[in-house]
Amino acid sequence: MSIRKLALAVMAFVALTAVAQNNVAEEIAWVVGDEPIFKSDIEEQYMNLQSERVAIDGNPYCSIPEQMAIDKLFLHQAKIDTVQIQESQVAREVDSRINFFIANLGSKEKVEEYFHRSMPLLRERLADMIRDQYSIQQVQSNLTKDVKVTPSEVRKYFATVPTDSLPYIPRQVEVQIITINPVIPQQEIDEIKSRLRDYSQRITNGETEFSTMAILYSEDKATAVYGGETGFQSRSVLLPEYANAAFNLNDNKKVSNIVETEDGYHIIQLIEKRGDRINTRHILLRPKVSDKDLTDAIARLDTLKTEISNGNITFDKAAFYVSQDKDSRNNNGMMLNEENHTNRFEMAELPSEVGKLVDKMEEGDISDPFVMVNKKTQREQVAIVRLNKRINGHKADIADDYQVMKNSYENHRKAEIIDNWVKEKQRSTYVFIDENWRNCEFKYPWLNRTDVQSVKSEQ
């Protein structure tokens, strides 16, 4: 089919499609490949961005359809690459956005009124959008996965960045930490295991579904709302003990034995295996820490603080021999910022319990013992922290902020690759833009293409 016939066929189909609310035929703004972009799509996207308080650069009726056109290029590539998205991940994001809307608008009914859709239709629409977003991210990740930079490249890049364009680094701190996990009484562990054995027996006997029990009792809140379903995960992503038990399951009607991990105690049910990935359900119970156990742990760290303050042992050595935080123990107790792979944190990036103390400390100060919640295991633990260094806000420097500049250069390289890919993909893809949508300053030269002009002249 010729370009002109394709465009006319799409437009003829759209002309027969009525908008339910006002019975007016839909208006095509763009066509990318064989995918139309309707005026209503653009307006809906504008409303969504406003509701989520996302800043929009320039004229939204120019920038939004151009971005939608770019997205369609990536989605076409996702089909070619057969990109697969985990539906459990999509469902979690849908729930998160729905909850955000309800929190801001007040009720489900007000959300339905605002978006002019019933809740099931809104969920379906959001799922489609989120699925597309994940697909686009996966294609972009595939395009840039081989980007690696050397120190010399980073230094050369730093030298080319004008001083007034260097990123500003807010106030940061380097913090050392020692944590200990309070002893869990055997009686509490036995009680946890007894409950899990009871759940397993009821599921095996057919009295109830595993998913129902997970919703009711699992303490892994992220998966409990989905009946305990984890989504497809590789062995390397799962905790070792969990992975070993899960991959040994072969019957999706049976329940695993009780599995202990750093998160707590689990029972697991197989849903499906796909090569080296597995989808399971689980029920997690976490032992509770008693007040006495917390008090004993605080006393231990209080004594340790005194030993460090008296010079009998350094904080570094105490962290190595005493701390139960495996991420920092072998790094002289230094906390690691997983977001940027450095030892430095902006104040807002620290755990709230740590940030409140460090904000009032001087370099070299050691805190009193305090109780905090481990963000990974969600268990209470006792800790002391030492403020190792405070770095005031400043323009990025290659010596002190190498990792920041490395990340900046990597992002720059990735942006170049994606930009060049879009230009190349654009040249080989049919694009039609309606007359009413051409008076824009686009990022890419959509209007300089021969196929756009030919369609324009033939109409």
CATH number of the domain enclosing 49: 1.10.4030.10
| Residues 50, 33: Cα–Cα separation, whole Å | 28
| Residues 55, 416: Cα–Cα separation, whole Å | 23
What is residue 52's predicted lDDT score, i.e. its pLDDT?
67
Q: Is 156 a domain residue?
A: no
The torsion region of residue 341 among left (phi > 0), alpha (psi -120 to 50) and beta comes to left
* Domain edge (last residue) among 344, 364, 395: 395
* Domain edge (last residue) among 285, 313, 336: 285
Q: Residues 243-255: what's their mean pLDDT?
A: 93
Amino acid at 261: T
Q: Among 92-101, 387-396, 400-409, which is the least confidently predicted range?
A: 92-101
Tokens 């595939």 — which residue?
Answer: 142
pLDDT at 414 over 60: yes
Contact 323, 177 (CB under 8 A): yes
Q: Are 303 and 350 in a shared domain?
A: yes
* 366, two tokens: 């050691």
Q: Are 334 and 229 in a shared domain?
A: no
With a pLDDT cut of 70, the percent of the chain lying above it is 92
Coil/strand/helix, residue 420: helix
Q: Are 341 and 367 in a shared domain?
A: yes
Q: Are 134 and 69 in a shared domain?
A: yes
Q: Are 111 and 238 in a shared domain?
A: no
Contact 395, 166 (CB under 8 A): yes
**Domain that includes residue 17, residue range:** 3-146+412-458
Highest-confidence segment of 223-237, 259-273, 422-436: 259-273
What is residue 71's predicted lDDT score, i.e. its pLDDT?
94
What is residue 203's predicted lDDT score, i.e. its pLDDT?
95
Residue 92 vs residue 154, higher pLDDT: 154
pLDDT band at 102 (very low <50, low <70, confident <90, very high): confident
Report the DSSP beta bridge partners of residue 82: none
Q: Residues 395-412: what's their mean pLDDT?
A: 90
Give the ranges where 28-118 is alpha helix by DSSP (H).
39-51, 60-80, 87-105, 108-115
Average pLDDT of the residues of the chain? 86
Residues 6+ apart with CB under 8 A from 115: 47, 101, 122
pLDDT at 146 over 80: yes
Q: Is 431 a domain residue?
A: yes
Highest-confidence segment of 32-36, 126-130, 342-346, 366-370: 366-370
* 115, two tokens: 């978006």
Q: Residues 421-442: what's their mean pLDDT?
A: 89
CATH number at residue 217: 3.10.50.40
Q: Residues 405-422: what's their mean pLDDT?
A: 94
Q: Are 305 and 361 in a shared domain?
A: yes
pLDDT at 11 over 80: no
What is residue 158's predicted lDDT score, i.e. its pLDDT?
92
* 51, two tokens: 């509701």
Q: Is 152 a domain residue?
A: no
Q: Are 391 and 435 in a shared domain?
A: no
Q: Is 358 a domain residue?
A: yes
pLDDT for 346-391, tens place per residue? 999 999 999 999 999 999 999 999 999 888 778 889 999 999 999 9
Residue 447 vs residue 191, higher pLDDT: 191
Coil/strand/helix, residue 389: strand
Q: Are 317 and 173 in a shared domain?
A: yes
Q: Residues 39-53: what's their mean pLDDT?
A: 81
Contact 383, 405 (CB under 8 A): no
Residue 49 vs residue 43, higher pLDDT: 43
Q: Are 7 and 134 in a shared domain?
A: yes
CA distance to 140, 390, 397, per residue, from 407 (Å): 17, 22, 13
Q: Are 130 and 11 in a shared domain?
A: yes
What is this structure's pTM? 0.65
66-94 as b/e, with b when 16 or more CB fall inside 10 Å?
Answer: bbbbbbbbbbbbbeeeebebbebebbbbb
pLDDT at 242 over 90: yes
pLDDT band at 448 (very low <50, low <70, confident <90, very high): low
Q: Is 77 a domain residue?
A: yes
What is residue 47's predicted lDDT score, i.e. its pLDDT?
80
Q: What sign does the CA torsion over 166, 167, 173, 177 have?
A: negative
pLDDT at 88 over 80: no
Q: Among 133-137, 147-151, 397-401, which is the least confidently predicted range?
A: 397-401
| Residues 387, 175: Cα–Cα separation, whole Å | 5
Nearest to 46 by CA among 57, 58, 60, 59: 60
pLDDT at 54 over 80: no
pLDDT at 94 over 50: yes
Contact 301, 384 (CB under 8 A): yes
Q: Residues 204-212: what's their mean pLDDT?
A: 93
* Domain edge (last residue) among 285, 311, 334: 285
Contact 73, 429 (CB under 8 A): yes
| Total of domains in the chain | 3
Give the Cβ contact number of residue 380 at 10 Å: 17
Q: Are 272 and 141 in a shared domain?
A: no
Residues 6+ apart with CB under 8 A from 52: 97, 100
What is residue 428's predicted lDDT score, i.e. its pLDDT?
86
Q: What are phi and psi of 111, to 5 degrees?
A: -65, -45
pLDDT band at 236 (very low <50, low <70, confident <90, very high): confident
Q: Is 268 a domain residue?
A: yes
Q: Is 388 a domain residue?
A: yes
Q: Is 404 a domain residue?
A: no
Q: Are 261 and 298 in a shared domain?
A: no
